[in-house]
Structure 1
């Protein structure tokens, strides 16, 4: 009987320790997954008009126009989300985008969108494509715009 009174608490203690150990392993595994995601190779690439058009045609990403409201009146790429690069809350606006889906960013000539692409990368966006030459190059190539 004394042995039984000793064995039962010992068994319960070992079970508790085992469960605690598994909880630690789960946390460690979660940390590993999070670290792996953070270290995943990101794409931040400048692309020409034809490649940009090919990428957005896939329909799997977010098209981002970072020009000013005045510039938007001249036309935008279809389905583009408009965020004025010069707005005080521009960075907060970027946070509304999905960090997992590709972002296709453009401006008038490529300067602001290049800066926006760098911001997006620093914010943890995985795939970012910047349109070289911006809307000027897009229009010169005769690509479709909407007003």
Structure 2
């Protein structure tokens, strides 16, 4: 009888551990569903032309003096208040980021995703790739 109880107890613990693994797996899947959308220049142009979101350039003033894409909101990545400024962006709109080559803007986009934003886009290759592909600059 004692062996049957130990077997049932062991089986119960085993089944509980399987359930815990399943819950964790479902949680991991749901958190992976929302991600930064890294897009090429063609897609980025279409998004900023047709969308109703906020275009953000995270480069320095010096970098921006060489030209910008569209009429962006300027939030310098190197500014000490950078993340506080990002926190002020509305969550219910699309956000389009770019920088020189895509690294800083990618970090900014990932930060917003971590804060629960849903529609965040990053220009792959950044402004350099944009110009290289012959797209307009202001």
TM-score of the pair, normalised by structure 1 = 0.69
> Aligned-pair distance for 1:42?
3.1
Number of the residue aligned with 1:64? 56
In 2, Cα distance between equivalents of 1:85 and 1:99:
20
Number of the residue aligned with 1:81? 73
1:119 to 94, 105, 111: 111
Give unmatched runs, 5+ long, in structure 1. Answer: 1-38
Larger radius of gyration: 1
> Aligned-pair distance for 1:117?
0.8
Structure 1 segments of 4+ aligned residues over 2 angstroms from their partners: none
1:135 to 120, 127, 131: 127
Give unmatched runs, 5+ long, in structure 2. Answer: 1-30
Question: Are residues 70 and 133 of structure 1, via their aligned partners in 2, closer, same or farther at CA, if it must alter by over 3 Å?
Answer: same
Matches within 5 A, 1:1-147: 42-146=34-138
> Aligned-pair distance for 1:126?
1.2
The alignment covers a number of residue pairs equal to: 107
In 2, Cα distance between equivalents of 1:46 and 1:123:
18
Number of the residue aligned with 1:32? none
In 2, Cα distance between equivalents of 1:133 and 1:96:
26
In 1, Cα distance between equivalents of 2:51 and 2:106:
22
In 1, Cα distance between equivalents of 2:42 and 2:83:
28
